[in-house]
């Protein structure tokens, strides 16, 4: 450990903040997480994460990273009720030309609520002797030195009637406060100028309700997705089994096709999806929550890497740097990848002068963000009502190919498997363009009659081989 690294501060106790703190504990003697909320000692909702009520998926890559950082945590989550999801077997998707077929897959994720996931990670953080958490504490501003060229701590204030503030010094401050970050205004006040932003907004909104697991939810399925289809079918939905014999249903609509939050409207929205399969499962199910809506879903990338100057001793990551449309489930996994990149940078600078280290990190962070950003915004830009971005003829060509690719998945399990690997950030998107994949996508144009689309009938768990066997 570098002798000059005494304390690091993490602003925000989110998943990304906790993963960053875990990484920092390998490089600093003391790590302090500062959060505005009281952090619950059980798996329950907290004020700072109202979106936790909605369906969340820690993608397979993210689960791998979390397990590496906290060995054995996957087994702990399973022991507390989290459900193992094997993609291609426990999951299925209904698309334009039918159900995604069952297929052999090594991709596993967990059916787990955001509350339980965060709590399991928080319990590991609590027993780490190098990590301390300050709850119900606000960060008023950064403390700087050397004419604002270096951040040396934060000015904090306990929530409540006490108006006194105090300074907490640190060798590194990490902003993981999410979409509500104050970093852009702090940087302006410090003389670094306005941060450029890219915003692409498909005006997606979603609504979520939890149920006791219905008898009508097939025993051989743990997650069922009804796909929206740009540009003309803007509505979709997911039902996923989680802990405590419960399931979560999230319905979503793009371009302001927002799902209602009243019971009749919620069910009617589900009934009118591309397939009524989710509606058939929940229409007589026992709800155990209200219906909650959420509409703050724009993709927003704050381009800190474009600033010509950057303060030493300060980095920004997670949603505070780039927030994605949450419907694609990339946020937590991208945050985990960013924590790994922070670890790499700190390792490379161990024992060296740290000047320029944080600027280097922000540049490298942009490369981590690039792939999930292109995946999320590329899909959003396929809808006509999306604002904030333009597509070139090359982009439109790729979008058309992806549309054909998705259409072909019910025919060819092997390309469905490739898609799942890319979606879970296990494999690069370039895998979608391998020659053998291109050939199958092309051949699917002549084999569509082999797909039998039955919207109300779910496929069986029979695992398909490499041959294009039609669904039954």
Domains of the chain in sequence order: 7-56+117-199+299-376 (3.50.50.60)
φ/ψ (deg, to 5) at 239? -125, 130
Q: Measured between alpha carbons, how far is 251 from 209 in angstroms, rounded to an integer?
A: 9
What are the pLDDT tens digits along the chain (472 aa)? Answer: 788 899 999 999 999 999 999 999 999 999 999 999 998 888 888 877 777 889 999 999 999 999 999 999 999 999 999 999 999 999 999 988 788 888 888 999 999 999 999 999 999 999 999 999 999 999 999 999 989 999 999 999 998 877 789 999 999 999 999 999 999 999 999 999 999 999 999 999 999 999 999 999 999 999 999 999 898 999 999 999 999 999 999 999 999 999 999 999 999 999 999 999 999 999 999 999 999 999 999 999 999 999 999 999 999 999 999 999 999 999 999 999 999 999 999 999 999 999 999 999 999 999 999 999 999 999 999 999 999 988 888 888 988 898 889 888 888 888 999 999 999 999 999 999 999 999 999 988 777 655 444 444 565 444 443 333 222 2
Give the pLDDT confidence score for residue 448 in this predicted structure.
61
What is the 3-class SS of the chain, one letter each residue?
A: CCCCCCEEEEECCCHHHHHHHHHHCCCCCEEEEECCCCCCCCCCCCCCCHHHHCCCCCCHHHHHHHHHHCCCHHHHHHHCCCEEEECCCCEEEEECCEECCCECCCCEEEECCHHHHHHHHHHHHHCCCCEEEECCEEEEEEEEECCCCEEEEEEEEECCCCCCCEEEECCEEEECCHHHCCHHHHHHHCCCCCCCEEEEECCCEEEEEEEECCCCCCCCCCEEEECCECCCECEEEEEEEECCCEEEEEEEECCCCCCCCCHHHHHHHHHCCCCCHHHHHHCCCCECCCCEEECCCCEEEECHHHCCCCCECEEECHHHCEECCHHHCCHHHHHHHHHHHHHHHHHHCCCCCCCCHHHHHHHHHHHHHHHHHHHHHHHHCCCCCCECCCCCHHHHHHHHHHHHHHHHCCCCHHHHHHHHHHHCCCCCHHHHHCHHHHHHHHHHCCCHHHCCCCCCCCCCCCCECCCCCCCC
Distance CA 98, CA 459 (A): 10
Contact 320, 176 (CB under 8 A): yes
Rg (C-alpha) for the chain, rounded Å, is 23
Q: Do residues 354 and 4 make contact, with C-beta atoms less than 8 angstroms apart?
A: yes
The residue assigned the tokens 């077997």 is 89
CA distance 367 to 321: 12
pLDDT at 467: 33
Cβ within 8 Å of residue 392, ≥6 positions away: none
CB 173 within 8 A of CB 142: yes
∠ CA 271-273-276 to the nearest 5 degrees?
50
In the numeric block, the tokens 């920004």 are attached to 316
- Position 15 scores a pLDDT of 95
The pLDDT score that the predictor gives to residue 128 is 98
Which tokens is 343 given?
């670890």
pLDDT at 45: 84
Cis peptide before 401 (omega within 30 of 0): no
């Amino acid at each position: 450990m570098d002798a000059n690294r005494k304390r690091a501060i993490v602003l925000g106790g989110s998943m990304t903040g906790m993963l960053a703190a875990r990484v920092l504990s390998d490089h600093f003697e003391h790590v302090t997480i500062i959060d505005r909320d009281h952090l619950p000692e059980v798996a329950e909702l907290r004020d700072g994460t109202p979106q936790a009520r909605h369906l969340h998926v820690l993608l397979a890559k993210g689960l791998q990273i979390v397990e590496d950082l906290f060995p054995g945590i996957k087994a702990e989550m399973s022991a507390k009720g989290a459900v193992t999801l094997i993609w291609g077997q426990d999951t299925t998707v209904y698309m334009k030309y039918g159900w995604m077929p069952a297929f052999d897959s090594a991709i596993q994720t967990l059916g787990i609520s955001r509350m339980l996931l965060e709590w399991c990670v928080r319990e590991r953080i609590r027993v780490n002797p190098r990590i301390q958490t300050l709850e119900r504490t606000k960060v008023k501003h950064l403390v700087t030195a050397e004419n604002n060229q270096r951040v040396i701590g934060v000015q904090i204030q306990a929530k409540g009637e006490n108006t006194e503030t105090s300074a907490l010094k640190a060798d590194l401050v990490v902003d993981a406060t999410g979409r509500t970050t104050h970093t852009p205004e702090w940087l302006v006040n410090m003389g670094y100028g306005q941060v450029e932003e890219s915003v692409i907004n498909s005006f997606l909104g979603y609504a979520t309700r939890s149920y006791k697991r219905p008898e009508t939810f097939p025993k051989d399925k743990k997650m069922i997705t009804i796909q929206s289809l740009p540009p003309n079918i803007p509505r979709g939905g997911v039902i996923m089994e989680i802990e405590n014999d419960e399931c979560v249903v999230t319905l979503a609509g793009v371009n302001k096709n927002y799902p209602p939050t009243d019971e009749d409207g919620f069910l009617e929205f589900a009934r009118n999806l591309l397939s009524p399969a989710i509606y058939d499962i929940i229409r007589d199910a026992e709800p155990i929550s209200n219906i909650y809506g959420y509409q703050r879903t724009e993709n927003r990338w704050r381009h800190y890497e474009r600033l010509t100057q950057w303060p030493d001793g300060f980095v920004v990551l997670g949603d505070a740097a780039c927030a994605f449309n949450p419907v694609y489930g990339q946020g937590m996994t991208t945050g985990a990848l960013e924590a790994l990149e922070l670890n790499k940078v700190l390792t490379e600078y161990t024992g060296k002068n740290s000047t320029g280290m944080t600027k280097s990190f922000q540049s490298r962070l942009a490369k981590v963000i690039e792939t999930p950003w292109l995946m999320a915004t590329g899909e959003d830009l396929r809808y006509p009502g999306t604002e904030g971005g333009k597509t070139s003829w090359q982009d439109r060509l790729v979008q058309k190919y992806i549309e054909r690719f998705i259409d072909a998945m019910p025919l060819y399990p092997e390309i469905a498997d490739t898609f799942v690997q890319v979606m879970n950030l296990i494999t690069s998107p370039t895998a979608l363009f391998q020659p053998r994949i291109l050939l199958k996508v092309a051949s699917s144009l002549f084999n569509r009659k082999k797909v039998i689309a039955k919207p109300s009938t779910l496929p069986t768990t029979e695992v398909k081989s490499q041959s294009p066997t039609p669904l039954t």
